[in-house]
Amino acid sequence: MVNVLNTLESRYYTSDAIFRDEMERIFYKRWICVGRADQIPNPGDYFVQAVSDESLIITRDRHGAARAFYNVCRHRGTRLCATDSGRFHETIQCPYHAWTYTLDGRLIGAPNMNEVAGFEKRDYPLYSASLETWQGFLFVNLDPNSESLAETFAPLDGKFDRWDIARLKMARRTQYDVQANWKLLVENYSECYHCPLIHPELARLSPYLSGDNDIAEGPFLGGHMFINEQHGSLTTTGGTCRPPLGDVSGDDLHRVYYYSIFPNMLLSLHPDYVMAHTLWPQSPGRTLITCEWLFDPDTMADPGFNPDDAVEFWDLTNRQDWHICEESQIGMRSRVYHPGPLHSVQELLPVAFDQEVLRALGHSQQ
C-alpha cells in the first residue's frame, strides 16, 4: 500500500502554543540569518534585529569583528537601542542610567556604582549571542550550546562558490508584511506546482516542470529550474545586459537555483544576481519578510547599472506568492479543513521541510 503524503494539520499554522514552541525549539536554537555583513561596514555601525521576543544589536567592534549583543542593559534591563540602525561613537550607552559598554561588550561606566560593596564592572558585560558569517550573510544563534556554523553548514561547503556570493553587494531591499504563517511561505517557495496559475510571468520564462532537486531532505532543501533558452535571466524583459556572476558558466547560464536554508532563509541564485529572503515570524498568522537583491559590485559601479528589471519582476512574483499564502492561511482556520494529499514529486520539498519542522519540535513524523 502506498502512503499518501499530506499537508500538516491546521494547528501547525494557527496554534499559539505551537508557534511559541517553534520559537523556543527552532528560532532560539538554530542558526538564523539576520542580514548581510556589509550592513555594518565600519566599527561602531549597527542594526537591530528582533528574533521573536528578543532584540539583538548587530555591530562591529574596534578590531572589525562582528558582534551580536542582546539589546538589554545589565542594570535594569532597559533597551539600549531604540533606533533600527546607526553608528555608535566608540561606546554603547544605556539611555536610562548611563551604564556604558565598549563595542566588544565590556562594561566601562556605571555612575556611582563604585560606592556599592562588591560591585565589579567586569562581572557585567553585555549578554552576547553567537554570530558568524557565511557567504557574506550574518547568522546568529541564541543557544549557548549550539554547534558552530561551520559544522551546521558543512553539507553546503563549496556548493555556491561559483556565484562568489560573499563579494556581492545589496542594490535593493524590500520588506513585506504578510498575513500568513511562516511555514506556508517556505512551503510555497519550495514548489512550482502553483506557478502556471499564480505566476504567468514566471512560467513564461521558466518551465514549471523543469529542473531537479539536489538536496531533498534535512535542513537544506532545493535544486534548479531551467530558464528558457531564448531568455537570459528572470527579469521583466526575460533578458539581461549584466555579465554572469563569478564563475557562473555553461548550463548555469540557463538555470536558476532555489534553496531554503532552515529555518528562515530562502536563497535564489540567478546567472546575474542573487536574491535572498529572510522570514521573521510575528504570530501564527503573520510574518515579516525582508527581500534583498545582490549584484556584482563592479557591475553596480557601471553608470548604466539599473536593478529594476530584476527587482520589479520578483516584487510582482513575491506579492503573488504572499497573496495566495494569505488565502491559504484563511482556509487553514476553517473547521472543515483537514490535511490534504500532496503531489509525490512536485511537492516533495514542502514535505521534507514539514518533516524537519516536526523533528525540531520533537513531534511524530506524519
Helix H or strand E segment including 139: strand 137-141
pLDDT of 244 over the 60 cut: yes
Q: What is the pLDDT of residues 154-206, one digit of tens each?
A: 999 999 999 999 999 999 999 999 999 999 999 999 999 999 999 999 999 99
Which of 151, 180, 213 is the C-terminal boundary of a domain? 151
Domain identity same for 234 and 293: yes
Which of 103, 135, 151 is the C-terminal boundary of a domain? 151
Q: What is the pLDDT of residues 289-331, one digit of tens each?
A: 999 999 999 999 999 999 999 999 999 999 999 999 999 999 9
Q: Give SS3 for 28.
A: coil
- The highest-confidence range among 98-107, 206-215, 341-350, by mean pLDDT, is 98-107
Q: Which domain holds residue 73?
A: 32-151
Domain identity same for 79 and 173: no
- Backbone dihedral angles phi then psi of residue 75, each to the nearest 5 degrees: -85, -70
* Mean pLDDT lowest among 273-277, 331-335, 341-345: 341-345
Domain identity same for 45 and 180: no
Q: Total structural domains in the chain?
A: 2
Cα 186 to Cα 262: distance, rounded to the nearest angstrom: 9
DSSP state of 23: I
Domain identity same for 104 and 161: no
Q: What is the pLDDT of residues 220-239, one digit of tens each?
A: 999 999 999 999 999 999 99
DSSP state of 27: I
Q: Does residue 70 fall inside a structural domain?
A: yes
- Please tell me the predicted confidence (pLDDT) of residue 3: 67
The burial class, CB within 10 Å (0-12 / 13-18 / 19+), for 304 is: exposed
Domain identity same for 194 and 301: yes
Domain identity same for 276 and 347: yes
Q: Does residue 12 fall inside a structural domain?
A: no
pLDDT class for 366, splitting at 50, 70, 90? Answer: low
pLDDT class for 345, splitting at 50, 70, 90? Answer: confident
Domain identity same for 135 and 175: no
Confidence (pTM)? 0.96
**Contact in structure between 274 and 168 (CB atoms under 8 Å):** yes
Q: What is the pLDDT of residues 349-364, one digit of tens each?
A: 999 999 999 999 999 8
Q: Does residue 272 fall inside a structural domain?
A: yes
Share of the chain above pLDDT 90, in %: 95
- Please tell me the predicted confidence (pLDDT) of residue 210: 93
Residues whose CB is less than 8 angstroms from the CB of residue 176 and which lie 6 or more positions away in sequence, other chains included: 288, 289, 290, 291, 318, 319, 322
Alpha helix positions (H), the chain: 11-14, 16-22, 149-152, 182-189, 195-198, 200-205, 297-300, 308-332, 348-361
CATH number for 103: 2.102.10.10
Which of 151, 184, 216 is the C-terminal boundary of a domain? 151
CA-closest candidate to residue 182, choices 46, 353, 57: 353
Q: How many Cα atoms within 13 Å fall on the side-chain side of residue 255?
A: 16
Q: Does residue 24 fall inside a structural domain?
A: no
Q: Does residue 202 fall inside a structural domain?
A: yes
CATH number for 304: 3.90.380.10
Q: What is the pLDDT of residues 112-162, one digit of tens each?
A: 999 999 999 999 999 999 999 999 999 999 999 999 999 999 999 999 999
Q: Does residue 68 fall inside a structural domain?
A: yes
Domain identity same for 138 and 164: no
Cα 148 to Cα 282: distance, rounded to the nearest angstrom: 27
Q: Does residue 2 fall inside a structural domain?
A: no
Domain identity same for 224 and 287: yes
DSSP state of 273: -
pLDDT of 346 over the 50 cut: yes
- Please tell me the predicted confidence (pLDDT) of residue 365: 67
Domain identity same for 123 and 110: yes
Which residue in the block uniquely carries the three cell numbers 525582508? 290
Number of residues assigned to the chain: 366
pLDDT of 1 over the 50 cut: no
Domain identity same for 299 and 215: yes
- Please tell me the predicted confidence (pLDDT) of residue 343: 87
Q: What is the pLDDT of residues 3-57, one digit of tens each?
A: 678 999 999 999 999 999 999 999 999 999 999 999 999 999 999 999 999 999 9
Q: Does residue 7 fall inside a structural domain?
A: no
Q: Give SS3 for 173.
A: strand
Is the torsion defined by CA of 344, 346, 347, 348 positive or negative?
positive
Domain identity same for 123 and 167: no
